[in-house]
């Protein structure tokens, strides 16, 4: 079956780093734009970062800009999210999903997605 699998989450202290991976199973990622989302306890899901199908264009939410970097290796059928300078407010379950790309705005449509993974939890705490 077609699915995305997230991995790399865990417990990290404030200021630490994690690298999340989003791997495709049953299909190739090179035709898809991919977004990273997160959902904290008691809060709605929010868009974090996205990357175009070829990795040429990337974007990040203001809350993570300068700290998170999205990248991809289509040969490995994987998208990554490098998370540096982590803060307590980054604590959430992180998901990846295929998203549409809005050419006029030169960014991903983060209001909806498909081929969702089950998420990987990230906890930032001392």
**What's the confidence (pLDDT) of residue 96?**
96
pLDDT tens column, 8-67 = 999 999 999 999 999 998 888 899 999 999 999 999 999 999 999 999 999 999 999 999
Q: Is the pLDDT of residue 105 over 90?
A: no
DSSP per-residue codes, the chain: --EEEEE--EEE-TT--EEEEEEEESS-STT-EEEEEEE-TTS--EEEEEE-TTSS-EEE-TTTTTTEEEEEEGGGTEEEEEE-S--GGG-EEEEEEEEEEETTTTEEEEEEEES----EEEEE--
């Amino acid at each position: 079956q077609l699915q995305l699998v997230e991995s790399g989450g865990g417990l990290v202290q404030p200021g630490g780093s994690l690298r999340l991976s989003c791997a495709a199973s049953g299909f190739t990622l090179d035709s898809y734009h991919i977004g990273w989302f997160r959902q904290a306890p008691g809060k709605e899901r929010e868009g974090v970062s996205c990357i175009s199908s070829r990795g040429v264009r990337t974007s990040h939410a203001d809350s993570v800009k300068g700290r998170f970097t999205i990248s991809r290796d289509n040969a490995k059928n994987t998208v990554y999210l490098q998370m540096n300078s982590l803060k307590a407010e980054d604590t959430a379950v992180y998901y990846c999903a295929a998203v549409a790309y809005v050419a006029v705005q030169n960014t991903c449509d983060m209001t909806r997605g498909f081929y969702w993974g089950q998420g990987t939890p990230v906890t930032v705490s001392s």
